[in-house]
Structure 1
Amino acid sequence: MIDVIDHLAGIEPDSPLDHLREQRPDAREHAQRAFDALLTPDVPGEVSLVERDAVAAFVTGLHQDPRTARFYADRLAELAPDLLGAVRLEIEAASTTGPYGSYPADGPLAAESDEGLRYRARDPEALGIRLAAAFEHAHLLVFRPREADPKDLRALADADWSDTGIVTLSQLVAFLSFQIRVVAGLRLLGATQKGTTS
C-alpha cells in the first residue's frame, strides 16, 4: 500500500530518508492513517468522497506545490472529471500569499495587519452551494486563520454543512497543510543529502 508522504516526497525504499522516517514509525503510521480516514474513509458519511477530493485539490493548489497539487487533482479527476475545470478556475481566483488578517489598531501587533485577498467563489453554480462554501472556508483557514469566527461556521451551516461535516472539513484542511509542510521538509532534506554525497 502506498505511503502518501513517501510518494509525494519522492522517498525510495531503503533510501536514507526512508530510514529516517523509520525512526519515527508512530508518526509515519499516524500520518497515513489520517490520510486514509480523511480522504479514503470506508464510510464517507456527511462529506462525500468527491467533496473531500475537491477540497484537497483546492487547498493543495493554494499551497502551490505542483507535485502535491497534481496528486490531488488526479484523484478528483478519477471521481469527478467534469468538476476539475471548475476547481482549477477557483484555485486561480483564490491564489495569493499570506497569512492575512487584522489586529486591533491600538494593539502591539497592529503593524502585522495585512488586508490581502478576501476570496469568494468565482462560480458557485459550477461548484454547487456546499463546495463553494467549503472553498471559502478553506481559504479562510489557509490564509486568515486568526479571523475565523462563528459567522463563518454559520455560512457553512447555511450551505447545508452539518456540525460533523464542518469538523471533517476543518480537519481535512489542517491535515493537508500539515502534509504539505512535512513533504516540503523531507524534499529539502533529500536535496541536502544529495548535495553532500555528490
Structure 2
Amino acid sequence: MTDHADLLANLADIDPQSPLAAARHTRNAATEHAQGSYDVLFGQDDKDFPLAERYWFATRVAGWHGQQALEHHYEQLAGELSDTPRIQEAEAFARRLTFEPVEAAPQHIAHLTLAGWSERGIVTLAQLVAFVSFQSRLLAGLHLLQDQEVTTSPEPVLAGRWHNAPLTASGKTALTAFTQKELGWEPWLAAKPLTAFTPDEQATLARNGHSDSDYFRLLGRNLPLLEQRTLTDKGIFYTAGGLPRAERELAATVVSKVNGCIYCASVHARKASQLSKQNSDVERLLQTAPGAVLSAGQSARWQAIIDFSAALSVTPPRATQQQISALRDLALDELALLDLVQSTAFFAWANRLMLTLGEPFVPAE
C-alpha cells in the first residue's frame, strides 16, 4: 500500500521509518483492508444512501468520538442535508449506535423503514457508524503508540449493562447473562436469501464461510463492504507473532463487556479460554457485574490489557499514555501493542452490528 492511500497513516502522521510503521507493514492485511473498507464504503453512491449523506453521517460520528482530524476529513467531503424525517431518524439511529448500542431495539429498524430507508440502506448505515467507530478508536490508538497523549482519565472503565428481557423479538429464550456457551442470533431485518445472490456472490459468501449465517447474509446486502470487513477481521486476528491470539480474543471479550454484547462475548471468551487455558480468569471477566471494575482479580498483565481495552472502547475513547507505558513495562513490543489496539478497535465495529441488527437467543437442545 502506498502512503497516499493510507488515510489513517496520514491522519496520525506516522513516520514511515518508525517502529509503528514497521508494525503496520507486518500487519499489512489489516492495514490494507481497513483502508479497503473505507474505499468501498465511500466509493459507492447508491441512490438509497447517497455519498454526500454518507460523508455527513461520518462527520457526525467522528465528531462524537472527539477525533477532530477525522471529523475534518469527512466534513470537507460532506454535503448540506435537508432536515427531513428520513435524516432525523437516521441521525437518532447513528447517535444511539455510537453512544449506547445496547439500547438498540427492533422498533428502531422499523422506524428507519417507515422513514424511507431500504434494507440495503439500513445495513450500510449501520456499517458506516460501526466502521467510523472502529476507525476513530484505531486512530486514537495510533496516536498513543506515537506518544501523543489523547486523554488523561485515571478512572477505570466499568462493565456496561446488557439486555435483560427474557424473550427475543420472535419469542425465543433470550440471554440475560454472559456465557461461554454457543448461542444463536436472530436478525431484526430479514437476511438476504442465498438464492437472491448471484453465483459469483454466492461463491464469495462460501469462500468466507458465510452462506449459512443469517448475520452474514444480512450484512451481505452490501456484499463488497462485508468482504472488506471480513478481510480486515482476518488481518487483525489470524496472524502470527505479536500479541498472543488468546489476548486478542481477551480484548474482544472486554469490548463486548463494555458494550453489553452477549453474543460476541460468548464467541470470543470461549476462544480466549481455549487458547489461554485460563478459563477461571475469563469467567471472572464475564461475570463482572454492571458498574464493577472489569480487571479486578486478574494478573498484572491481564489487568493492564483489560484496562486499556476498556478505556479505548468507551465513546469518546479514554485510553491513556500511562496505560500504554504500563503495557510496555510488561514487555509488549510495538507489534503486540498494535495488535491490542486493532483487536479492541475492531470490536467497536463488530459489537455495534450485532447489537443493532438483531439479538442472541438460547438454542433449543
TM-score (norm 1): 0.69
Distance in 1 (alpha carbons) for counterparts of 2:15 and 2:47: 35
2:58 touches 2:129 (CA, 8 Å); kept in 1?
yes
1:64 to 63, 66, 71: 66
1:185: which partner in 2? 141
2:88 to 125, 128, 132: 132
Structure number with higher helix proportion: 1
* Structure 1 runs, 4 residues or longer, greater than 4 Å off: none
| Local SS of the residue matching 2:127 | helix
In the TM superposition, what is the alpha-carbon distance from 1:157 to its structure 2 partner? 0.6
Gaps of 5+ in 2: 149-324, 326-365
Letter of the 1:161 counterpart:
W
Tell me how many residue pairs correspond in the alignment.
146
1:96: which partner in 2? none
1:26 to 29, 34, 46: 29
Letter of the 1:8 counterpart:
L
Letter of the 1:48 counterpart:
P
Larger radius of gyration: 2
In the TM superposition, what is the alpha-carbon distance from 1:40 to its structure 2 partner? 2.1
CA pair 135-20 structure 1, distance change in 2 beyond 3 A: same
What do the CA deviations read for 1:21-49 (whole angstroms, capped 9, x no partner)? 001011001100110111222x5352100
In the TM superposition, what is the alpha-carbon distance from 1:59 to its structure 2 partner? 0.7
Distance in 2 (alpha carbons) for counterparts of 1:132 and 1:52: 14
Letter of the 2:129 counterpart:
V
1:13: which partner in 2? 16
| Local SS of the residue matching 1:56 | helix
Matched, 1:146 2:148: no
2:86 touches 2:116 (CA, 8 Å); kept in 1?
yes
2:42 touches 2:54 (CA, 8 Å); kept in 1?
yes
Matched, 1:38 2:41: yes
* Structural RMSD (CA): 1.7
| Local SS of the residue matching 2:5 | coil
1:49 to 37, 51, 59: 51
What do the CA deviations read for 1:81-118 (whole angstroms, capped 9, x no partner)? x44xxxxxxxxxxxxxxxxxxxxxxxxxxxxxxxxxxx
In the TM superposition, what is the alpha-carbon distance from 1:191 to its structure 2 partner? 1.3
In the TM superposition, what is the alpha-carbon distance from 1:16 to its structure 2 partner? 2.5
